[in-house]
Amino acid sequence: MAGPGLVAGDVVVDALPYFDQGYEAPGVREAAAALVEEETRRYRPTKNYLSYLPAHDFSAFETEIMRNEFERLAARQPLELLSMKRYELPAPSSGQKNDITAWQECVNNSMAQLEHQAVRIENLELMSQHGCNAWKVYNEPQGMSSTDCAENKLSGVCTETSGSYDRTSPERASEVEEKHSGSELATKEHATHSWGQAPRNGIHMGVSCQ
């Protein structure tokens, strides 16, 4: 609400309804309506009540393209369609059938357009061959997906577990060999191998599922 001592040019921010809370409390809506009604009764704006403000400059942010478009709209001219003139291959006019210069211009135009189309075809072929991989390489620095992160983490666990198993296997085999021999040793080695293979299989299965 504008107070009675408001000076021209002052900015008064009374409330932020999208941030402030408590508007649904009992009596708040009625109090706000009463303030609005009170100000409406005592404030009678005149035709020049904004005279203290500077004149509007509506062209401050206009560009040359915008200015031309506004002028076209003001003149009620139709919108110019996309010009395909650059892709045309017109032959010399009837009056220039025997003009070498006119024919040379037509040949130069056709050669330029053929080269342009050849470059476009080459770009399309390169994109079809390398576009997919190039996009993947571009996305790598942007951050891996959650699936990639999980797969890398599980791969690290698999490598760590395999290394730990490979380090402990000789020690276990040595201890078993000292205490047991023959068929009992073979049974122990088989059990040790099975014990190490189980977590490996589980980790590889988890990576595959990801």
**Hey, where are the domains in the chain?**
146-209
Which of 9, 6, 2 has the alpha carbon at shortest distance from 54? Answer: 9
Q: What pLDDT shows up at residue 164?
A: 59
Q: Per the structure block, which two tokens stand in for 66?
A: 């915008």
Instruction: Give the per-residue pLDDT at 115.
Output: 94
**What pLDDT score was predicted for residue 138?**
84
pLDDT of res. 190:
62
Q: What number of other Cβ atoms are within 10 A of residue 46's Cβ? A: 7
Low-confidence ranges of the chain (pLDDT < 70): 1-14, 142-154, 156-158, 160-210
- The overall longest dimension of the chain from CA atoms, in Å, is 112
Q: What is the pLDDT of residue 20?
A: 74
What local confidence, expressed as pLDDT, does residue 16 receive? 74
Query: What b/e sequence results for 170-204 when a residue is b if at least 16 CB atoms lie within 10 Å of its CB, and e otherwise?
Result: eeeeeebeeeeeeeeeeebeeebeeebeeeeeebe
pLDDT of residue 76: 94
